Structure 1
Amino acid sequence: METKPQKNKQLEKIQEMVEDIRMAMMTTVDDQGNLVSRPMAALQMDEDGTIWFFTKRTSPKVDQIDNNQHRVNLSFSDVGDANYVSISGTADELDDRAKIDELWNPQAKAWFPKGKDDPELILLKVHTQMAEYWDSSDSTMVRLFQQAAAAITGNPPKMGENEKVYN
């Protein structure tokens, strides 16, 4: 995912953590009130903390976003490094051909075989309102040792940094 320097310095840590994680799970609410998640390829995190995605105009998630005050959640995880990010925000659909041109990549053709001029292709932009992250700088072996020690001592392991960031 492409990232840009953040205007809000508090979002710099979030930017660093999601930069190499291309896939996010986007959660919306369906008509029955169920939480529905699906993988989405994040294209860019711009300087305002907005995360951009391609989607189909007729996708059910577009209706779910419109019907639920545009509220969404994005989750990013890098299990190997034990880094996790949850982003709450609002999403808007946008038919901006210049932005589509800017973000277009060859992998998108699998979902949009007519290319960047596909009439079904629109953008989703998710405005970050709050993000929470968990970041473990320890190696896998250290984390496993901490978990084993916690099981023996009954004291919760210290598994890294956790913080909430507001935009």
Structure 2
Amino acid sequence: MSDEYSKTASAQPSLTEKLTTLRAFFKAQKSVILTTHAPDGSLHARVMAVAEITPDWKFRFIYDKESYKEVEVDNDKHVNIAVDGTPSNTGWASIAGKAARLDDKEVVEKLWNPTTKAWFGDKGDGVHDGTPSDPRIAVFQVTVDEIRHFHQEKTTVGLLVDVVSSAISGSTASPGSLRTITKEEISSAWAKNELKEP
């Protein structure tokens, strides 16, 4: 990164601290934006709730196999998960990864909850009823390639003061740290049993 802001914000604490802070950040979020690629190259984004972040940092979503996401991931497994910590000013995160479908009914059963049914409806045929046995229900799993997390370290007032004083002094504002976590770091920590259970 060669821009001044990225250089100023690129402090890298330990991997344990980065992942602990990031997991706390995600626990405070109700939803994320999942972006996929259509066969014509278009990018499609939609709001989704994360059903689970596994201890080894796989993101899981319950989804409908009849949705267009299925076509898009068959076309290109590269996806992005993004979340903005506004309005609490806690930062943002962007996760680049690869998606795959899990048809494991045990995983579906574990992640399903009664509100899941609202997104599938009941077709009245005794099969497509929005329960865990519904053949439409599967788990969309994203394996991380790289995470970029901006950890906001200043309050809203502190941020304003930092931006104004930086504009006046000619320095670069630094309201927090921009942290990068790679799949290699996660794999290494997992192999060493260094990742904590969520």
The bucket for the TM-score relative to the shorter chain is 0.7 to 0.9
User: Which residue is equivalent to 1:49?
Assistant: 57
Say if 2:94 and 2:148, in contact at 8 Å, map to a contact too.
yes
Aligned to 1:166: 182
Tell me, yes or no, if structure 1 residue 78 matches structure 2 residue 94. no
Query: Relative contact order (alpha carbons < 8 A, sep ≥ 6): 1 or 2 greater?
Result: 2
Contact 1:26 1:75 (C-alpha < 8 Å) held by counterparts: yes
What are the residue-to-residue correspondences of 1:92-111 with 2, within 5 Å? 92-111=100-119
Match in the other structure for 2:142: 126
Conserved? CA contact 2:66–2:136, under 8 Å: yes
CA distance in 1 between counterparts of 2:32 and 2:74 reads: 20
2:144 counterpart letter in structure 1: T
User: How far is the alpha carbon of 1:153 from its aligned partner?
Assistant: 3.2
Secondary structure of 1:116's partner? coil
Q: Which ranges of structure 1 fall in alignment gaps of 5 or more residues?
A: 1-7
- The answer as to 2:169 corresponding to 1:153 is yes
Structure 1 residue 82 displacement after superposition: 3.3
Alignment deviations for residues 77-102 of structure 1 (CA, whole Å, 9 cap, x no partner):
21112321111111101111111111
Instruction: State the Cα deviation string for residues 41-63 of structure 1 (Å, max 9, x = none).
Output: 10110011001101110111111
Q: CA RMSD in A?
A: 1.6
Q: What residue ranges of structure 2 are gaps of 5+ in the alignment?
A: 1-14, 122-128, 184-198
Q: Give TM-score, length-normalised by structure 1.
A: 0.88
Partner Cα distance (2:153, 2:79) in 1: 28
Larger strand share, 1 or 2 = 1
Q: Distance in 1 between matches of 2:22 and 2:158?
A: 24
Distance 1:12 1:139 in 2: 20
- Count of residue correspondences: 159
Q: Retained in 1: the 8 A contact 2:96–2:146?
A: yes
- Find the structure with the greater CA-based Rg: 2
Q: Which residue of 2 aligns with 1:11?
A: 19
How far apart in 1 are the matches of 2:66 and 2:170?
A: 51
Write the deviation string for residues 72-125 of structure 1: whole angstroms up to 9, x where unpaired. Answer: 110122111232111111110111111111111122121023222222111101
Percent identity (aligned): 25
Please report how far the alpha carbon of residue 127 of structure 1 lies from its aligned counterpart in structure 2 after TM superposition.
Answer: 0.6
